[in-house]
Structure 1
């Protein structure tokens, strides 16, 4: 037992202590009352808000691409789903972008993500530009209300996004021109107040970064390696594969601000994304010269727990298409479009524990690999070659940044995906995520999880559903008071009494975590729990 504890301690010390063990995130405390939970005697009210009021500065955004792809066929009697696939579907999405769709009376910018938009960029994807994919000319025909020279139109676009409560506008582009033209485009955007570019392939020599750095232009650049929507041999196990230091992906990771893990199928998004993150972090960990952040697109709980950024794409539009309402971006048993609260919880956790660079600290992954699968029907993927096939995607059962791997005990034989991280400010997060299998859909294997937090100061973020969760410390905690709060809420409760506290550990039953983590859920929302815990 002592030897196991020593090994865990050595793992946590792999980071540079001065870089990693800063002060715990600031916690805003108020004195307001809170209504009691529905289980009498289990919790008591405190009213203290454990979530800082200051907004996150993480470069997160909501991207319009998925909702653009949902526009064609609205209100029709029938729809040919094959038109939604491949280049045809991309063309329809391109055409769907315009000022009315974005800023009209029921526009996306006016109606989506009202609780988080002040911390998200409003990112316009393909279709906003005229005359190409990297002209940065706002299309006159699509955005007629923005007038004047192009710089002024871009400035008006950004101001309108901010007027509606967004952090600002961000822009998609592909295959930037290079040379001196890059400077002109960056300078024009900077003067217009645009500070984020989503670069979807192109810039092979990283000229944009060099120009930006030389001229000190306040612009965050996101790069990608263009992936298919599945990893590896999807007929077998679908592994992403090791990434050597000299691989093109690692080269991109070393030369950008944000590396987006790129496109995935909706139904198998989780294992596909997790394995990409696994291999990229495995190669980057401990290389302090890598300052870039990983963007895991719409896997918002993965982003929250593992210190990554979000390229949120989910939206709440449901039932606008005929038949079974096909949506190639959000479909299947997960019902992601009814999980909007997860964005709120993930974003608010990042006020407490900000995303951190891929090269910071250590990384561990279990030898145990979990494999998920799905037989894709027409209308479930834009990749026509997957339709009718059973696709498999795999990732490690457990991964962890800057800490020992959590211990996971399966109750019924199967395990969920489990991931955890210790943040540079002393916060710790842990998450469990569901599995996907043909015939079973989206389901959560029951499990007990022990997280060795050692000397971490917290706060602690807990995402997903556990049968039991134990936090194992290297110091006495039996006289500490425990406050917890739904990350979608404003007030905490005291859960000292219902928690099980021993000398150096705190344990929680699944029902308690669910009660707290969903206490402020929106009506009809299917999101998994997400809560913050502090030891007073």
Structure 2
């Protein structure tokens, strides 16, 4: 009898071991080979006034953020960005990119020349630990210390135009230091792309990212009631041609910064506007970087520039946490698992170029909107106003559009069949005036090209149905694991198999996709699954949809000659007369420049005079703007009725702008100097000067014109240098 009990105990133990046997690890151990990165910029901004309660926002500027990066903030063991952010295993999938402020600010130290923000000299005061070394060895030592913490490589931020000789020197320094990434945040050397040209020749392992800007951190017309809100990259957009040229010329094209709250919607629309024009054309070689949208990136085959950090409650504005880059109930600060999951997904399915394969989108666009506050964004023109953005409800690369069924608001849905075989499926949340972040669930049906390939699933679902080419009767196992995990489990008994489909409940996706979640992390589920068996189904050529490439002629709006805007404008000899009866706000008339200006210094000169010197209201302003509605703009001029010179950001920024007394005389001689790299604007009128720093809302000068508030003013023709 004792032997029987022992035998039964052995059998039960054996069964338990078999039942709990781990399946294969579906995530490769080797680090990702594509250039995703984590960037210091949002942390730099949050460090301004850290530990204090701010009473105003005057000190929260781009230039102040530049001063927050140094050896201590990066490396100190208590809260250093490189030493404490992301776990060590996740760091190997990301470049650690140091943003604005790491380079020397003293021209005499630029031993190879260059620009204030493109000289590659590690600042010897902020990084005294490297000051005794030659420039290339400073970078090498810096990179060695970053890699010692587990990061893939050091990445470098730059901005501006340089010569081919300077580019060669800087690329050689990076090659010596084994640095893998540059973020070129403005400038393309006059369209000659010297850095790209040189690195292709002598150090192709270096990845270069470029931008055109985006006309502001919110897509245009956000203050209007429209059916959709296209980006500046769309047909008729003022940066469309620049975008198309750049995507043909560089390694990575970044869709640029987007204001929080509506970040995903803004970015999806920009990505849509790029992909619909570049698809199926190998000449569009650049990978697309979509900032910090890790979830939709699984479904779009793109790169990320993660900037989130976990710090909260360490800097407040009138008692409330202030973070202009990570505001809102989405709480990106508590969503680090999705960064790690995306890095591991990239090991399975690396991002692919904008011109690879087909792109489809639904006709239906989802519109998200909410009211912004001073705690939400640096874009002061949006405070207290409803901001609207839109993007296609469904986006698909190299595959048919999925079917999405929802009883209420639907999520955004993005899917891709990657060139190396896997399928990425993602849903993402929405924004409404009542709920500034929510994650609706839907029933989503997706066709899978190759049943033998991994399938990545990210987001929340009511039900996910995977449809294959034929019957699944030969499937033996359905392995699934949290992308954060190192082993899978067989979920065949937990799913519903019917003919050629597999149905996963939303609860099962939550269970598996969060099984390795970090305590307190709010990231949505993220998992990978793979079928195992004989004769797994595979679609043929019929799987890939035939997609005509949209042509510009079908979309271009009728061109408006001259100036547009609410102000009245009349051409006169040597200039224009601008008039408005509106005394409640500044009206404007803008003209589109032949070519946008997005880096360097710009000098604009003009003269102006009051048409009615006896009028109670007399004023005039030059308006420079990223968009045709002057939503992202700087205005420079004078309240001549009160003898005051002023320069300010945004149409509504005049009330709090600094003003200086001057003597108008019969005619005012005006000069505005814009530095788009330092984000400064200095106005001089009749010898009296006023200077401000403007925010990241204005990313380029694409339009120039005039503004008045209940006044009649004569402006000369302007000169731009």
TM-score over 0.5 for the alignment? yes
Contact 2:295/2:427, CA 8 A, preserved across alignment: no
Once the two structures are superposed, the pairs formed by residues 165-314 of structure 1 within 5 Å of their partners are 165-203=150-188, 204-205=190-191, 206-227=193-214, 228-236=216-224, 237-240=228-231, 242-243=234-235, 247-314=241-308
More strand by share: 2
Q: Does residue 1:130 correspond to 2:126, yes or no? A: no
- CA 1:90 to 1:56, structure 2 compared with 1: closer, same or farther past 3 Å? same
- CA 1:462 to 1:291, structure 2 compared with 1: closer, same or farther past 3 Å? same
Cα offset, 1:45, TM superposition: 5.1
Query: CA offsets per residue over residues 39-82 of structure 1, 9 Å max, x none?
Result: xxxx9653421111111111111000000000012222444235
Give the equivalent residue in structure 2 for 1:472. 467
Distance in 2 of aligned mates of 1:311 and 1:246 = 22
- CA 1:496 to 1:44, structure 2 compared with 1: closer, same or farther past 3 Å? farther
Structure 1 runs not aligned, ≥5 long = 1-32, 37-42
Q: Does residue 1:386 correspond to 2:382, yes or no? A: yes
Structure 1 stretches of 4+ moved >6 Å: none
Distance in 2 of aligned mates of 1:234 and 1:50 = 43
Distance in 2 of aligned mates of 1:451 and 1:208 = 42
Q: Does residue 1:159 correspond to 2:144, yes or no? A: yes
Distance in 2 of aligned mates of 1:278 and 1:294 = 11
Distance in 2 of aligned mates of 1:505 and 1:221 = 42
Contact 2:423/2:448, CA 8 A, preserved across alignment: yes
Moved more, 428-437 or 230-239: 230-239
Distance in 2 of aligned mates of 1:504 and 1:534 = 15
For residue 272 of structure 1, give the secondary structure of its aligned residue in structure 2.
helix
Larger radius of gyration: 2
Contact 1:371/1:395, CA 8 A, preserved across alignment: yes
For residue 379 of structure 1, give the secondary structure of its aligned residue in structure 2.
coil
Question: Which structure exhibits the higher relative contact order, with contacts defined as CA atoms closer than 8 Å and separated by 6 or more residues?
Answer: 1
Distance in 2 of aligned mates of 1:458 and 1:79 = 55
Distance in 2 of aligned mates of 1:368 and 1:427 = 27
Give the equivalent residue in structure 2 for 1:335. 331
Moved more, 180-189 or 364-373: 180-189
Q: Does residue 1:148 correspond to 2:127, yes or no? A: no
For residue 172 of structure 1, give the secondary structure of its aligned residue in structure 2.
strand
1:428 to 423, 432, 438: 423
Cα offset, 1:466, TM superposition: 0.5
Distance in 2 of aligned mates of 1:251 and 1:243 = 14
Query: CA offsets per residue over residues 450-487 of structure 1, 9 Å max, x none?
Result: 00114453210000010000001112113312111000
For residue 532 of structure 1, give the secondary structure of its aligned residue in structure 2.
strand
Q: Does residue 1:67 correspond to 2:59, yes or no? A: no
Cα offset, 1:264, TM superposition: 0.2
Q: CA RMSD in A?
A: 1.8
Q: Does residue 1:446 correspond to 2:419, yes or no? A: no
Moved more, 197-206 or 463-472: 197-206
Distance in 1 of aligned mates of 2:154 and 2:458 = 29
Give the equivalent residue in structure 2 for 1:319. 313
Q: Does residue 1:54 correspond to 2:30, yes or no? A: yes
2:82 to 109, 127, 139: 109
Contact 1:373/1:437, CA 8 A, preserved across alignment: yes
Distance in 2 of aligned mates of 1:468 and 1:335 = 25
Distance in 2 of aligned mates of 1:45 and 1:436 = 42
Moved more, 209-218 or 105-114: 209-218
Cα offset, 1:243, TM superposition: 4.3
TM-score calculated relative to the size of structure 2: 0.66
Cα offset, 1:446, TM superposition: 2.7
Distance in 2 of aligned mates of 1:214 and 1:352 = 29
Distance in 1 of aligned mates of 2:337 and 2:205 = 31
Distance in 2 of aligned mates of 1:82 and 1:379 = 13
Give the equivalent residue in structure 1 for 2:499. 503
Give the equivalent residue in structure 1 for 2:557. none
Distance in 1 of aligned mates of 2:474 and 2:57 = 60
Distance in 2 of aligned mates of 1:475 and 1:370 = 33
- CA 1:344 to 1:246, structure 2 compared with 1: closer, same or farther past 3 Å? closer
Contact 2:464/2:506, CA 8 A, preserved across alignment: yes
Contact 1:331/1:380, CA 8 A, preserved across alignment: yes
Give the equivalent residue in structure 1 for 2:66. 94
Contact 1:364/1:399, CA 8 A, preserved across alignment: yes
Contact 1:126/1:172, CA 8 A, preserved across alignment: yes
Contact 1:290/1:359, CA 8 A, preserved across alignment: yes
- CA 1:77 to 1:208, structure 2 compared with 1: closer, same or farther past 3 Å? closer
For residue 277 of structure 2, give the secondary structure of its aligned residue in structure 1.
helix
Cα offset, 1:212, TM superposition: 2.0
Contact 1:411/1:446, CA 8 A, preserved across alignment: no
Cα offset, 1:164, TM superposition: 1.2
Contact 2:234/2:240, CA 8 A, preserved across alignment: no
Contact 1:485/1:516, CA 8 A, preserved across alignment: yes
For residue 424 of structure 2, give the secondary structure of its aligned residue in structure 1.
strand
For residue 442 of structure 1, give the secondary structure of its aligned residue in structure 2.
coil
For residue 267 of structure 2, give the secondary structure of its aligned residue in structure 1.
helix
For residue 96 of structure 1, give the secondary structure of its aligned residue in structure 2.
coil
- CA 1:434 to 1:406, structure 2 compared with 1: closer, same or farther past 3 Å? same
Distance in 1 of aligned mates of 2:202 and 2:195 = 11
- CA 1:269 to 1:45, structure 2 compared with 1: closer, same or farther past 3 Å? farther
Contact 2:217/2:259, CA 8 A, preserved across alignment: yes
Distance in 2 of aligned mates of 1:375 and 1:216 = 47
Contact 1:230/1:238, CA 8 A, preserved across alignment: no
